[in-house]
């Protein structure tokens, strides 16, 4: 028997790789002769690099960069396909979770560190960059990435290096001396434009501390004007332009990036469809299964793929909402958090609880394959 484990992370509890290991540990005794195929999931946010590198047998390299507030840090860069492809999480450099609440400052936060990771990948000789852009601390439209890639700004006759505070003074955007010779593919699961009521500032800005919407809108609009004048086409209304504080726009404008569904991109990178086809049973999951799961999140994508290929699919979760539609999407739902246990304790014991819950349901799982 071949069992595919394709689970997402349990946010705050364990990474997708550790969850997959826990599920495997819980099933080893019940399925001693099974071949386990571990294919961790991610959607472009935290854990994307680890998931893809683990699934493809690549390697992680720590590279020097800066965080959203320009403080020096080291961040993991994934290398796969004989080091020809780099896997980059923008949140590894410009992530909101990296900045303590008391230090968060959207007026200063920028994506320079993400751009520096891109440059380092190019220095390694990578011809393709796969980027996840979830979890950003920034609302700079990709201005920091543009600077890292070598774009220059003119203020009258003078070249200068703008930030959000001074970008309104810019009169022209100049391209880098060397063109970017790499394919850039971005995992993006939102369709927001750059500006307006559904744009980066108003929809995602508040969680990063943005309150003065007009201040940020004016600066993102100025950046878009400069970039689109140079490009000769408009990108501000493209689906996903507003992702990650406008980094979706910035990567399209400054790196000619293509935006794709996070699940579809990771599935393509890891050969998920063929791995499902080879499996006798598929196990997926995430920390919380609820109505949002049915809106295109990883476990639902795995379930649809498994069903389309005639495979039974089990979902393992910390907890699951009592939704008929949700439970209908899977052949079996296993909840790891015992009733009455405090969430904080459950998150501390995630791996232990997942292994125990799966082991307890081993007979029900076996019946699915009978």
In order of their start, the domains of the chain are 2-36+285-368 (3.40.50.10350), 48-262 (3.90.1510.10)
Give the integer Cα–Cα distance in Å for 142 and 164: 11
Please list the rounded mean pLDDT of every run of 10 residues in the chain (370 residues).
Answer: 94 90 95 94 82 90 97 97 96 93 95 98 96 94 98 96 97 93 92 96 95 97 97 96 97 96 87 95 94 81 95 96 90 95 95 97 92
Q: How is residue 273 written in tokens? A: 């469809």
Helices (H) and strands (E) in the chain, counts: 14, 14
Helices 48-56 and 262-270 pack at an angle, to 10 degrees, of: 20
Q: What is the pLDDT of residue 161?
A: 97
210, 262 contact by CB (below 8 A): no
In Å, how far from its chain's centre is CA 334? 25
Give the integer Cα–Cα distance in Å for 38 and 61: 22
160, 266 contact by CB (below 8 A): no
Whole-prediction pTM: 0.86
Q: How is residue 84 written in tokens? A: 């020809």
Contact residues for 204 (Cβ-Cβ < 8 A; gap 6+):
136, 139, 192, 242, 244, 245
Give the integer Cα–Cα distance in Å for 48 and 51: 5
Residue 204 DSSP class: I
Q: How is residue 122 written in tokens? A: 């190019």
**For strand 312-320 and strand 281-289, is the pairing parallel, antiparallel, or unpaired?**
parallel
How many CB atoms are located within 10 Å of the residue 107 CB? 16
219, 174 contact by CB (below 8 A): no
The string of DSSP codes covering 154-193 is EETTEEE---TTTGGG--EEE--SS---SEEEEE------
Q: What is the pLDDT of residue 327?
A: 87
């Amino acid at each position: 028997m071949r069992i595919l484990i394709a689970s997402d992370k349990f946010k705050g509890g364990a990474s997708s790789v550790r969850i997959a290991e826990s599920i495997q540990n819980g099933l080893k005794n019940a399925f001693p002769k099974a071949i386990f195929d571990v294919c961790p999931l991610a959607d472009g946010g935290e854990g994307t690099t680890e998931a893809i590198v683990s699934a493809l047998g690549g390697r992680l390299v720590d590279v020097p960069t800066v965080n959203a507030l320009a403080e020096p840090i080291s961040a993991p860069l994934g290398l796969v396909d004989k080091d020809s492809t780099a896997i980059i999480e923008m949140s590894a450099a410009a992530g909101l979770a990296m900045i303590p609440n008391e230090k968060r400052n959207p007026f200063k936060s920028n994506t320079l560190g993400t751009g520096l990771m891109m440059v380092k990948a190019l220095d390694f000789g990578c011809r393709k960059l796969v980027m996840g852009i979830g979890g950003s601390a920034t609302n700079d439209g990709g201005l920091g990435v543009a600077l890292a890639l070598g774009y220059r700004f003119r203020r009258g006759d003078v070249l200068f290096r703008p930030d959000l505070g001074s970008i309104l003074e810019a009169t022209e955007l100049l391209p880098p001396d060397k063109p970017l010779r790499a394919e850039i593919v971005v995992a993006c699961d939102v369709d927001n434009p750059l500006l307006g009521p559904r744009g980066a500032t108003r929809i995602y800005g508040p969680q990063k501390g943005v309150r003065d919407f007009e201040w940020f809108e004016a600066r993102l609009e100025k950046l878009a004007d400069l970039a689109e004048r140079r490009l000769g086409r408009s990108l501000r209304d493209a689906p996903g332009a507003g992702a990650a504080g406008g980094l979706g726009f910035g990567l399209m404008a400054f790196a000619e990036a293509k935006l794709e569904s996070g699940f579809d991109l990771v599935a393509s990178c890891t050969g998920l469809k063929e791995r499902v086809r080879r499996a006798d049973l598929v196990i997926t999951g995430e920390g919380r299964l609820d109505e949002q799961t049915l809106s295109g999140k990883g476990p639902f994508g795995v379930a649809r793929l498994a069903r389309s290929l005639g495979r039974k699919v089990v979902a393992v979760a910390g907890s699951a909402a009592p939704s008929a539609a949700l439970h209908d999407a899977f052949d079996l739902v296993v909840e790891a958090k015992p009733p009455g246990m405090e969430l904080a304790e459950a998150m501390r014991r995630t791996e232990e609880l997942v292994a125990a819950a799966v082991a307890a349901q081993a007979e029900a799982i076996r019946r699915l394959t009978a």
